[in-house]
């Protein structure tokens, strides 16, 4: 059958839907209100928003923090699966490629859960089946008796070759961080090669990948500067950003914070990120730095989505913002469960 050529129409349709969804995300004021609520009030409040269906479905089986956590995970997975269904043409391929990040997270969660001897139900609660590996496939993985069998069950999937190579002599927990780094490097390398393959919208996708890699690398640099663990850091550095691994290695030798920022700022192309780095001269905790970097990333993605309104950017901006809404609600619920003060919880929110 001949392909129906609809021009830019499907792109405009789906990007508008993403914009409307983004407008429906919880605003800053609602988070500030929730900071003064108790856990049950937060549950009730969430139930009145777009999470109603999940909360209603799960309310008979779970209570308290479990109910909120599982409802949020279900909602995120459902939302991501739905977006994959409605995106057209090459946007679907790019969205799918981006969502494969969740596959890595899910597989590693299952492996870690098995190594720690966690119950299947407990592992299932923390999975977010938003990528290529759907809920049923992940359920089958969880039911496998050993980590080695889990890796065998992944045969034919993108993560299998690296996992089988890395765990030839059996799955050991001390190798997991290294394998995690390798998996993420492979993931980003695949994204870069896809964006550079001449696919329609590849340039815009490449802009996003570069930003994501830069933010991840800068965040890692600050984290490892605090730990003084240069060797580990170089293993976590992802190639493909504006700052090359060689430049990062040179930056890691600079001990003085001001000198480090002086050397880093000229290498960064994004204006808002340069402005943030200037502010990071004063001592801040790693958590604060990471949250500031996430805020800059979201702000930059928002401006990129305005610059290219009918490209992959509005979709990615929504996906990221939705992810952080879930993270915020989770942090709020967990903070309330642990009786943390509102000020302390606020420090964990991306608002």
Partner 1 sequence: MADAATAVAATEMTVEMVKASQLGMKALGAGIAVGLTGIGTGLAEMAIGSAAVGATAENKDVFGLVLLLTVIPETIVIFGLVVGLLLLF
Cβ proximity to partner 1, 102 vs 318, nearer residue: 318
Contacting partner 1 within 19-48 (CB under 8 A):
20-21, 24
Q: Shortest Cβ distance from residue 315 to partner 1 (Å)?
A: 12
319 scored as a contact of partner 1 (CB under 8 A): no
Select 7 or 145, whichever has its Cβ closest to partner 1.
7
- Asked if 15 is part of the footprint of partner 1 (rule: CB under 8 A), the reply reads yes
Of 10 and 239, nearer to partner 1 (C-beta) is 10
4 in contact with partner 1 (CB under 8 A): no
- If one asks whether residue 17 binds partner 1 (CB under 8 A), the answer comes out as yes
Minimum CB distance to partner 1, residue 11 (Å): 8
What are the start-end ranges of the H helices in 116-146?
A: 120-126, 135-143
Pick the closer one to partner 1 by CB: 50 or 164. 50
Burial of 243-270, coded b for 16+ CB within 10 Å and e otherwise, reads beeeebeebbeeeeeeebbeebeebbeb
Size of residue set near partner 1 by CB under 8 A: 13
The reply to whether 10 sits near partner 1 by the rule CB under 8 A is yes
Written as six digits, the tokens of 194 are 């896809």
Q: How far is the CB of 135 from partner 1 (least distance, A)?
A: 25
Query: Which range touches partner 1 (CB under 8 A), out of 15-23, 55-63, 157-165, 186-194?
Result: 15-23
Between helix 286-307 and helix 312-337 the angle, nearest 10°, is 150
Q: Report the nearest approach of partner 1 to the CB of residue 17 (Å).
A: 4
Burial of 65: CB neighbours in 10 Å, binned 0-12, 13-18, 19+: middle
Min separation Cβ 305 and partner 1, Å: 14
- Contact by Cβ (8 Å): 69, 330: yes
CA dihedral (207, 179, 127, 240) in degrees, to 10, reads 0
Determine contact, residues 108/163, Cβ cutoff 8 Å. Answer: no
Residue/partner pairs of 340-346 with CB below 8 Å, 24 or more apart: 342/35, 342/36, 345/35, 346/32, 346/35
Whether the CB-CB separation of 321 and 20 falls below 8 Å is answered with no
H or E element: which one contains 133? Answer: none
Rule CB under 8 A: is residue 7 a binding residue for partner 1?
yes
| CB nearer partner 1, residue 24 or residue 63 | 24
Q: Which is nearer to partner 1, 98 or 310 (CB)?
A: 310
CA dist 308 and 91 (Å) reads 13
Q: Which are the contacts of 280, defined by CB distance < 8 A and separation ≥ 6?
A: 222, 261, 289, 292
185 to 244, contacts with partner 1 by CB under 8 A? none
CB of 200 or CB of 274, closer to partner 1: 200
Q: Based on the shown chain and the rule CB under 8 A, indicate whether residue 306 belongs to the binding site for partner 1.
A: no
Which residues of this chain interact with partner 1, rule CB under 8 A?
Answer: 7-10, 12-17, 20-21, 24
């Amino acid at each position: 059958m001949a392909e129906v050529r609809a021009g830019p129409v499907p792109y405009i349709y789906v990007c508008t839907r993403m914009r409307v969804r983004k407008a429906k995300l919880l605003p800053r004021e609602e988070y500030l209100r929730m900071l003064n609520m108790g856990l049950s009030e937060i549950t009730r409040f969430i139930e009145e928003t777009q999470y109603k269906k999940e909360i209603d479905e799960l309310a008979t089986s779970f209570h308290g923090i479990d109910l909120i956590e599982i409802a949020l995970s279900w909602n995120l997975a459902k939302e991501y699966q739905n977006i994959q269904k409605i995106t057209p043409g090459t946007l679907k391929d790019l969205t799918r490629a981006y969502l494969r990040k969740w596959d890595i997270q899910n597989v590693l969660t299952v492996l870690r859960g098995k190594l720690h001897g966690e119950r299947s139900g407990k592992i299932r609660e923390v999975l977010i089946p938003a990528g290529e590996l759907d809920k049923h496939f992940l359920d089958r993985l969880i039911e496998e008796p050993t980590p080695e069998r889990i890796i065998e069950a992944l045969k034919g999937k993108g993560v299998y070759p690296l996992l089988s190579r890395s765990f030839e002599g059996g799955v050991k927990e001390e190798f997991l961080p290294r394998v995690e780094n390798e998996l993420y490097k492979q993931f980003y390398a695949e994204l870069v090669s896809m964006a550079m393959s001449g696919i329609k919208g590849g340039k815009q996708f490449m802009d996003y990948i570069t930003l994501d890699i830069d933010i991840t690398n800068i965040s890692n640099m600050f984290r490892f500067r605090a730990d003084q663990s240069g060797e580990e850091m170089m293993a976590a550095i992802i190639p493909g950003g504006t700052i090359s691994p060689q430049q990062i290695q040179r930056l890691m030798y600079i001990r003085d914070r001001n000198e480090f920022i002086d050397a880093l700022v000229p290498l960064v192309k994004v204006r808002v990120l340069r402005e943030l780095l200037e502010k990071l001269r004063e001592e801040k905790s790693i958590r604060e730095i990471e949250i500031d970097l996430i805020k800059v990333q979201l702000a930059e993605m928002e401006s990129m989505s305005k610059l290219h309104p009918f490209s992959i950017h509005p979709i990615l901006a929504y996906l990221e913002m939705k992810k952080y809404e879930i993270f915020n609600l989770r942090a709020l619920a967990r903070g309330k469960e642990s009786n943390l003060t509102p000020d302390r919880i606020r420090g964990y929110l991306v608002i």
